[in-house]
């Protein structure tokens, strides 16, 4: 049983997606349940619509939770341990807090914000460690009457834990990623329940909820590592069994000469939505993340082509202890490989889904004649050497748009034809000769026919021949074919010409040759 427990701040970080991925995998490969719990105890930071965004992102990346908040609507909540939204669990936390107060393990604190900053200043002046502890914990040993007096004035207390001071015992625990760890025990009287709304802090909600919801492994970001002693203390005060822990190193990037955690403010690629918008197939993002999590994933992928990544067994103890640098180039490579495994139908389906959301005009073109679109995506696809030129759906129009009439026409209007070093008169000669030629023959026959044309017009039959005596030729066969390519596509780099010819059909072929010819005169 594992959980993904984000707070609804309107932003899903790529590191969170990594955590959710690891959580879901670990739960599923041990026959457990992966659920989503919303940690909305800080009402100030909450953003409208962010719960929907979280669920949607999880669904987009194929990490739909089994329980908890599982869908946007209509039936949002599933599972036996509801509610899965912390603000709806208030009485539960209060009950646990009362239990602690009754035992003298927690106490009400009426310290104001200004008193707290005052304490901090004093600690700074004395050069002692900051915080609410020992002699600085001004409400630690107040009498019941003093508490009642505040209450009578209508003041609401925060509930703080009574930490052992000055000699907390050393905490030893095992982390499934980091290994055996030893840290000084907590001696700070941390807040359990907040004064303004009596909602719990993360530190308190985590032991309570994860126990009640039967979480047996807590997988979360490494930023929580320093507060593990506090958490363990709360579990012990409450008399609850400890879950397992696994702390994931954050994903970082280079900023000048220093490394830092991917930042929500500075780095667009920190947002999970970035990948969705750019049109990276979800499988590519997930496989990239899997590769960061367990680097032997790529060996597994090579050995098991076509097998869904859900079959891959993730090993927590193989995860890196240090922060990896995010590498967009590597993601692109993986994405290219992923798309290369897709059938033409799949490319059409995924590409269209992306375009409908982010490029509606191109979507309309794709949908106009689905069979034609699929035929286009079928060029150089399948077989042992599938074409690997598409990284993400965002690039689809640039790479394949010219095979559709409207984008082709628009491209010519914008850039015209780029004949390069071939003289216009030669271009005309080539096109005139080629325009009527038959291509309803095998590829080899067609290429031979083209080569014959090329040689007849003074082009070298191949690059090698040309290089031996460049002065004797107008160019080599490649130069000749480039003229055909540009006339047909308006571009200098395209997939295989023979396949293009057959895919776009003789009507378009004729029209395009004719258009190029008129453009010359």
Partner RNA sequence: GGCCCCAUCGUCUAGAGGCCCAGGACAAGACCCUUUCAAGGUUUAGACGCGGGUUCGAAUCCCGCUGGGGUCACCA
Q: Contacting RNA (CB under 7 A), which of 90, 264, 330, 502?
A: 330
Contact segment (CB under 7 A) with RNA among 96-104, 124-132, 410-418, 430-438 equals: 124-132
**Which of 112, 406 has the CB closer to RNA?**
112
Residue 296 within binding range of RNA, rule CB under 7 A: yes
Alpha carbon of 413 to those of 118, 417, 515: distances in Å? 71, 9, 12
Strand partners for 247:
220
Residue 140 within binding range of RNA, rule CB under 7 A: no
Q: Contacting RNA (CB under 7 A), which of 90, 176, 282, 485?
A: 485
Phi-psi region for residue 49, left (φ > 0), alpha (ψ -120 to 50) or beta? Answer: left
Q: Kind and range of the H or E element at 77?
A: strand 77-78
411: burial class by Cβ within 10 Å (0-12, 13-18, 19+)?
middle
Asked whether 52 and 72 are in contact (CB, 8 A), the reply is: yes
Q: Contacting RNA (CB under 7 A), which of 91, 143, 153, 493?
A: 493
Q: How far is the CB of 356 from RNA (least distance, A)?
A: 26
Q: Contacting RNA (CB under 7 A), which of 269, 277, 333, 356?
A: 333
Contact segment (CB under 7 A) with RNA among 145-153, 424-432, 480-488, 508-516 equals: 480-488
User: Which residues, 368 to 397, sit near RNA by CB under 7 A?
Assistant: 380, 385-389
User: Which residues, 38 to 57, sit near RNA by CB under 7 A?
Assistant: 39, 41-42, 45
Residue 299 within binding range of RNA, rule CB under 7 A: yes
Nearest to 349 by CA among 331, 322, 367: 367
Contact segment (CB under 7 A) with RNA among 20-28, 186-194, 266-274, 348-356 equals: 186-194
Residue 298 within binding range of RNA, rule CB under 7 A: yes
Q: Contacting RNA (CB under 7 A), which of 4, 6, 58, 101?
A: 6
Question: Rounded to the nearest 5°, which phi and psi values hold at 412?
Answer: -65, -40
Asked whether 244 and 176 are in contact (CB, 8 A), the reply is: yes
Asked whether 491 and 407 are in contact (CB, 8 A), the reply is: no
d(CA 223, CA 231): 13
Q: Contacting RNA (CB under 7 A), which of 64, 195, 343, 515?
A: 195
DSSP helix/strand/coil, 453: helix
d(CA 403, CA 405): 7
Asked whether 108 and 147 are in contact (CB, 8 A), the reply is: yes
User: Which residues, 214 to 273, sit near RNA by CB under 7 A?
Assistant: 222-227, 250, 252, 258-261
Residue 128 within binding range of RNA, rule CB under 7 A: no
Residue 338 within binding range of RNA, rule CB under 7 A: no
Q: How far is the CB of 518 from RNA (least distance, A)?
A: 23
Q: Contacting RNA (CB under 7 A), which of 18, 272, 431, 497?
A: 497
**Which of 197, 357 has the CB closer to RNA?**
197
- Start-to-end C-alpha separation, the chain: 73
Rg (C-alpha) for the chain, rounded Å, is 32
Residue 182 within binding range of RNA, rule CB under 7 A: yes
Residue 411 within binding range of RNA, rule CB under 7 A: no
**Which of 155, 368 has the CB closer to RNA?**
155
Q: Contacting RNA (CB under 7 A), which of 112, 406, 418, 506?
A: 112
**Which of 45, 304 has the CB closer to RNA?**
45
Contact segment (CB under 7 A) with RNA among 96-104, 187-195, 207-215, 513-521 equals: 187-195
Q: Contacting RNA (CB under 7 A), which of 172, 452, 462, 514?
A: 462
**Which of 167, 518 has the CB closer to RNA?**
167
**Which of 121, 259 has the CB closer to RNA?**
259
Beta strands of 368-519 (E only): which ranges?
A: 459-460, 475-476
User: Which residues, 81 to 110, sit near RNA by CB under 7 A?
Assistant: 109-110
Nearest to 200 by CA among 96, 287, 110, 274: 96
**Which of 323, 373 has the CB closer to RNA?**
323
- The b/e string for 115-144 (b: 16+ C-beta within 10 A; e otherwise) is eeeebeeebeeeeeeebbbeebbebbeeee
- The b/e string for 321-346 (b: 16+ C-beta within 10 A; e otherwise) is eebbebeeeebbebbbbbbbebebee
Contact segment (CB under 7 A) with RNA among 90-98, 303-311, 313-321, 404-412 equals: 313-321
Cα dihedral 67, 72, 74, 76 sign? positive
Q: Give the number of residues written for the chain.
A: 521
**Which of 182, 311 has the CB closer to RNA?**
182
Residue 325 within binding range of RNA, rule CB under 7 A: yes
Residue 15 within binding range of RNA, rule CB under 7 A: no
**Which of 29, 227 has the CB closer to RNA?**
227
Binding residues with RNA: total (CB under 7 A): 84
């Amino acid at each position: 049983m594992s959980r993904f427990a984000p707070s609804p701040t309107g932003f899903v970080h790529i590191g969170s997606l990594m955590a959710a991925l690891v959580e879901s995998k670990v739960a599923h490969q041990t026959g457990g349940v992966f659920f989503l719990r919303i940690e909305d105890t800080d009402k100030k930071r909450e953003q409208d619509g962010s719960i929907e965004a979280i669920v949607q992102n999880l669904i987009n990346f194929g990490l739909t939770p089994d329980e908890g908040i599982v869908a946007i609507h209509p039936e949002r909540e599933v599972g036996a341990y509801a509610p899965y939204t912390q603000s709806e669990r208030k009485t539960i936390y209060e009950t646990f807090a009362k239990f602690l107060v009754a035992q003298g393990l927690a106490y009400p604190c009426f310290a104001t914000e200004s008193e707290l900053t005052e304490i901090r200043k004093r600690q700074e002046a004395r050069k002692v460690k900051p915080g609410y502890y020992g002699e600085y914990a001004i409400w630690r040993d107040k009498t019941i009457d003093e508490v009642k007096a505040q209450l009578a004035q209508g003041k609401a207390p925060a509930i703080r834990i009574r930490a052992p001071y000055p000699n907390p015992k050393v905490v030893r625990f095992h982390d499934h990623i980091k290994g055996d760890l030893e840290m000084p025990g907590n001696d700070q009287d941390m807040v359990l329940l907040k004064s303004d709304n009596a909602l719990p802090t993360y530190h308190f909600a985590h032991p309570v909820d994860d126990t009640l919801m039967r979480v047996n492994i807590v997988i979360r970001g490494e930023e929580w590592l320093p507060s593990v002693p506090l958490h363990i203390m709360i579990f012990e005060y409450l008399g609850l069994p400890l879950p397992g822990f696994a702390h994931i190193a954050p994903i970082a990037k280079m900023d000048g000469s220093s490394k830092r955690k991917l930042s929500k403010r500075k780095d667009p690629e920190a947002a999970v939505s970035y990948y969705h918008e750019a049109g990276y197939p979800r499988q590519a993002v997930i496989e990239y993340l899997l590769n960061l999590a367990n680097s032997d994933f790529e060996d597994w992928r090579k050995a098991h082509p076509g097998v869904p990544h859900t079959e891959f067994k993730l090993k927590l103890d193989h995860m890196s202890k240090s922060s990896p640098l995010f590498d967009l180039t590597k993601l692109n490579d993986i994405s290219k490989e992923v798309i290369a495994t897709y059938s033409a139908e799949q490319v059409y389906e995924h590409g269209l889904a992306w375009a409908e959301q982010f490029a509606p005009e191109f979507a309309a073109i794709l949908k106009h004649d689905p069979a034609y679109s699929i035929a286009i995506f079928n060029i150089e696809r399948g077989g042992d050497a599938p074409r690997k030129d598409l990284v993400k759906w965002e690039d689809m129009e640039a790479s394949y748009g010219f095979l559709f009439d409207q984008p082709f026409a628009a491209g010519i209007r914008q850039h015209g034809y780029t004949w390069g070093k071939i003289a216009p008169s030669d271009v005309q000669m080539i096109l005139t000769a080629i325009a009527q030629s038959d291509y309803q023959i095998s590829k080899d026959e067609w290429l031979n026919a083209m080569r014959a044309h090329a040689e007849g017009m003074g082009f070298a039959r191949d690059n090698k021949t040309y290089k031996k005596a460049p002065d004797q030729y107008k160019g080599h066969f490649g130069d000749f074919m480039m003229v055909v390519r540009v006339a047909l596509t308006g571009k200098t780099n395209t997939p295989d010409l023979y396949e293009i010819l057959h895919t776009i059909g003789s009507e378009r072929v004729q029209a395009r040759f004719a258009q190029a010819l008129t453009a010359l005169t």
